[in-house]
Chain A
Amino acid sequence: MQGNSLRRRSIAGLPAGSGGALPALTLVGLFFIVPVVALLLRSVTDPEPGLQNYAALFGSGTYVRVFLNTFLVAAVVTVVTIIVAFPVAWMLAIMPPALGSIVFGIIILSMWTNLLTRTYAWMVLLQRTGVINRALMGLGIIHEPLPLINNLTGVTIGMVYIMLPFMILPLVGTLRAIDAMTLRAAALCGASPLQAFRRILLPLSLPGIAAGGLMVFVMSLGYFVTPALLGGTSNMMLAEMIAQTVQSLLNWGLGSAAAFVLLVVTMALYAIQLRMVGARRLGGGL
């Protein structure tokens, strides 16, 4: 109503201005914006002014392979996560709440469990002499241990494990927002379950899949811990390369340049995501 919107503005000798954000703004400005900008400046000034760090980055086969591998891993993780998450989200969206809350509890438990703990568990499970290999050999399915760790398989399993909650939870919201009546109508119109899925359910949930998928992709691009522990040296990802360049090689210029590339890609994808779902709904999946 008109009256309410009018009132909102003027009630209140209460300051509803920007003042409250000042502490947050100061903190973020001083200890986030300044350091990040300083780092980016470093990429064109260290060791001397110029673009030589970027030239080294894009001129070397090693680094280009890291870029490509990073995108490959992120893409594989995203696709697998979507495929695994969709049926679960579907089930959770329509399941009786009593039963569903158990599954939600498990999802939250895994999400809140320390990241290193989860990764450690997968290191133990996937190693050459680990439970999975022993079980498969015990069942006679394989005779030699499978290489499950320090390669793409290990990274994918570990990353999908971590990303699943971030895909399932928003998707449940999307699917719950779809009116079941729409699908009843589709059935009455003569659509088989497969047709109803392909022509109604999937298109209606596509915005949620796209938004969640993009979020998983962006998070995977910059992930450090899990790839560093479960991946191999031959398929290093960008975040680990940045950390190593700075920490072990002390090459700040090159590390900063790589960080800048990661930042630009991430922020560009983030901007697309914002346009897709709106800034408001972005933390909804917490």
Chain B
Amino acid sequence: MLLDYDRLGWLRAALAGFTALVAAFLLLPVIFIVLLSFGSSRWLAFPPPGWTLKWYQELLADPAWIDAALTSARIAAMVAILAVVIGLLASFSLVRGEFRGRQLLRGLLLTPMVLPVVVFAIAIYAFFLRIGLAGTTTGFVIAHTILALPFAIIPIATALEGFDKSIEDAAIVCGASPLQARLRITLPSIRIGIFSAAIFSFLASWDEVVVAIFMASPTLQTLPVKIWGSLRADLSPVVAAASSLLVGLTLALMVVTALLRRRLSR
């Protein structure tokens, strides 16, 4: 009866209590940061002696923060587009292809997800130093696309595996050319996977710290690099304000995702 919710008895109360504790553990730091960002104490005293918006004003008045955020957004958007397009093409081969070494190829394309980022970071940094891409937007986009690719391929390939190829065949018998069938039938049918791929690869770039720390130059730094620098210097409440905005962005993305999924999966 251990897997019957209604028959667990006292164990259910214990498990539910523990789950609530862990949920609180996961949620509290996030809430805490948001609260602190409105607190008036420079030394992040809690509970705050008073409430204020000055950390947000300070954040938004600093062109370095704004620049970093815009740089991050620009790079992440390019990464998302590239990773989805390249990942889509690769997924068709990985799912539908029948050629030798398909499993090997799959493993290879997913490896950047498993290899410790720090190894890739110093490798690509050394490589870019040599070919002159270090500290450039192009360099950032290439490096982040490599890291984002597995996060694009996995949802698209999963969606494609769940899509019955007979449906594409039916479109062809109906008179659609093979290309038309893919564009008008297959792609719309796996759009949830494509959409997830876009979100995941955007986040993979937007949140990436390690490669960014190595690649950043005085003129080109992403938001995580800016936060990293501030954290190493001191625990300024301005970082709390920036962090709260990031939490807000995460929440917005979650809501958009949930809404779109509901609309798309009729």
Contacts and interface: CB of A to CB of B under 8 A. Distances in A.
**Direct touch of chains A and B (CB < 8 A):** yes
Given A17-B99, A21-B90, A183-B2, A116 B118 contact: no
Given A9-B98, A93-B3, A116-B231, A164 B22 contact: yes
A32 B26 contact: no
B251 interface: yes
B4 interface: yes
Interface in B24-52: 25-27, 29-30, 32-33, 36, 43-46
Contacts of A222: 115-119
A23 B91 CA distance: 11
B126 A221 contact: no
Contacts of A91: 15-16, 18-19
Given A180-B3, A283-B113, 12 more contacts: A8-B165, A16-B97, A27-B146, A88-B19, A93-B3, A95-B5, A96-B5, A118-B30, A127-B235, A259-B123, A283-B154, A286-B151
10 contacts: A42-B126, A88-B19, A94-B8, A109-B26, A121-B33, A184-B4, A243-B210, A259-B122, A262-B118, A279-B106
A94 B239 CA distance: 39
Interface in B96-116: 96-99, 101-103, 105-116
A38 B25 CA distance: 43
Given A24-B90, A103-B19, A242 B119 contact: yes
B90 A20 contact: yes
Contacts of A19: 93
A24 B106 CA distance: 11
- Residue of B92, B114, B121, B203 with most chain A CB atoms under a 10 A cut-off: B114
A274 interface: yes
B68 interface: no
Given A239-B116, A270-B114, A283-B154, A23 B19 contact: no
Interface residues of A, number: 106
Contacts of A13: 178
B124 A114 contact: no
- Residue of A24, A196, A255 with most chain B CB atoms under a 10 A cut-off: A24
Interface residues of B, number: 102
Contacts, number: 293
Interface string A94-126: 111000001101111110111111111111110
B2 A27 contact: no
Contacts of A276: none
A112 B89 contact: no
Contacts of B247: 113-114, 117
B78 interface: no
Nearest to A119: B231
B149 interface: yes
Interface string A217-257: 01001111100010000000001001100110000100110
B224 A116 contact: yes
A277 interface: no
Interface in B136-167: 142-143, 145-146, 149-151, 153-155, 158, 165-166
Interface string B195-208: 00000100100110
B135 interface: no
A132 to B, nearest CB: 10
A197 B14 CA distance: 15
Interface of B: 1-5, 8, 11, 15-16, 18-19, 22-23, 25-27, 29-30, 32-33, 36, 43-46, 86-87, 89-94, 96-99, 101-103, 105-127, 142-143, 145-146, 149-151, 153-155, 158, 165-166, 169, 172, 178, 182, 200, 203, 206-207, 209-210, 213-214, 224, 227-228, 231, 235, 239-240, 243, 246-247, 250-251, 253-254
Mostly helix, strand, loop or mixed at chain A's interface?
helix
Nearest to B242: A117
Nearest to B27: A106
Contacts of B108: 25, 28
B165 to A, nearest CB: 7
B126 A39 contact: yes
Contacts of A266: 114-116
A109 B27 contact: yes
A193 B120 CA distance: 48
Interface string A254-286: 011001001100110010001000010011001
A94 B254 contact: no
A131 interface: yes
Given A19-B93, A39-B123, A116-B224, A28 B112 contact: yes
Contact of A38 (B2, B97, B127): B127
A60 interface: no
